[in-house]
Every structure is written in C-alpha cells, then in structure tokens.
Amino acid sequence: MPNILSDLEKSGSDEWAARWFSGARWATTTAKMTKDYWGILPADQPKQTFGRYGGGLFAGREIKTPEPFPYAPWNPDRENASQYRVRLKAEFMKHLDAQIEAQKRERKISRLPDDVKLERDARWLVRYHFRRETFAEIARGGGSAQIVSPDTVRKAVQNVAQLIEIDLRAPDLAGRPPNQPD
C-alpha cells in the first residue's frame, strides 16, 4: 500500500493531486506548499507534515489506495434497472457501514469536525475571541435558557483555534475590574 507522503516526495504536485484527489485545486496547492516546506527542512528530518498543520493531517498514517469496485455490473437479463439500483445501494451501504465501523475500531477517525459543527464552532470562536463573550454566555445562545454546556463551548472553541492556528485570548476575570472606584 503506497504512502501518500512518500508518493508526494517522489511525484510532481499536479501528478500527485490528480492521483490522490482527482486533481482538486486545493490538493495541488497544498502539495506545492508541503514540498516548499520540505525544501527548508534539514535532510535528516522525516517528511511527515502534509499541508500547513503542525502535526500533519496524515502524519504517520497510511492512506489506503482506492478500493476496486467490488459490485457486479448490471445484467438486464437477471433484473431490471430499478431492482439493480436497490440491490446495489443496499450492498454499498452495508459495505460503507462496515468500513466506517472498522475505522472507528482502529481509531482512524478524522480530527476535523463535520461542516455543520465547524461552522457553529467557528461562530462560537468569533463570539469568544473577538466579541469577548464568556463560554457561559455563548452556551445560553443569547437567551436565558442554556442550550449546551459552557464546557462544550470551551472545547469547541479551543479545537477550532487549534485547527486555524491562533492563540486564544486569556479568559476575563470575574467580578469588578481592578482599581475601579466603588
């Protein structure tokens, strides 16, 4: 099984992005950034970083090559098109569920949140870091009822800050500001 990083080391950025990510523009850009970064590393340092993230999105991980399509092509003599679609979708979903469960068991779960949570968490980061709201205020969602726990908000904000590589502001101290008259 080829390693995505060793393949990048041996390939051109465009060729590599085409092979691994169907030529996606972000993959080509990231590959070029990665190779530029590798160019300034000492020769004896391992090339484990992929992209701009410190630990590397794929550091120390093997990326499996695409699996062959294991499903038989449609045979119109055996079933009609709609029967084939239903059967193939059921087989595929069973296979997909098995793959996801296997990755969960092996702890090969993405460190990136899904898009909906990432957008929510980014909004929380803005509210905390720039609007200077507390985690408890954010947890209440602008109303009086608490929607999530302040600890959930804190963890989400810290994860997004780490993902985009910013240092969070120090939390405000509770109570009256120092040296203020009564």
Determine, yes or no, domain membership for 26: yes
- Given a contact cutoff of 8 angstroms between Cβ atoms, the answer to whether 35 and 8 are in contact is yes
Determine, yes or no, domain membership for 82: yes
| Residue 113 pLDDT | 57
| Residue 49 pLDDT | 53
Residue 151 gets the label, from left (phi > 0), alpha (psi -120 to 50) or beta, of alpha
State the residue range of the domain holding 39. 1-66
- Given a contact cutoff of 8 angstroms between Cβ atoms, the answer to whether 4 and 10 are in contact is no
- Listed as own residue / partner, the contacts of 146-155 with beta carbons closer than 8 Å and 24 or more positions apart are 153/124, 153/128
pLDDT, mean of each 10-residue run, the chain (182 residues): 72 87 81 76 64 44 56 88 93 87 70 71 89 89 72 90 84 66 58
**Are 59 and 72 contained in the same domain?**
no
Determine, yes or no, domain membership for 182: no
**Are 56 and 22 contained in the same domain?**
yes
**Are 89 and 71 contained in the same domain?**
yes
Residues in the chain: 182
- Listed as own residue / partner, the contacts of 26-29 with beta carbons closer than 8 Å and 24 or more positions apart are none
Number of domains in the chain: 3
- CA-closest candidate to residue 49, choices 39, 59, 40: 59
Tokens linked to 147: 């929607």
- Given a contact cutoff of 8 angstroms between Cβ atoms, the answer to whether 129 and 169 are in contact is yes
Question: Which string of DSSP letters, residue by residue, matches 68-93?
Answer: P--SPPP-TTTS-HHHHHHHHHHHHH
**Are 52 and 85 contained in the same domain?**
no
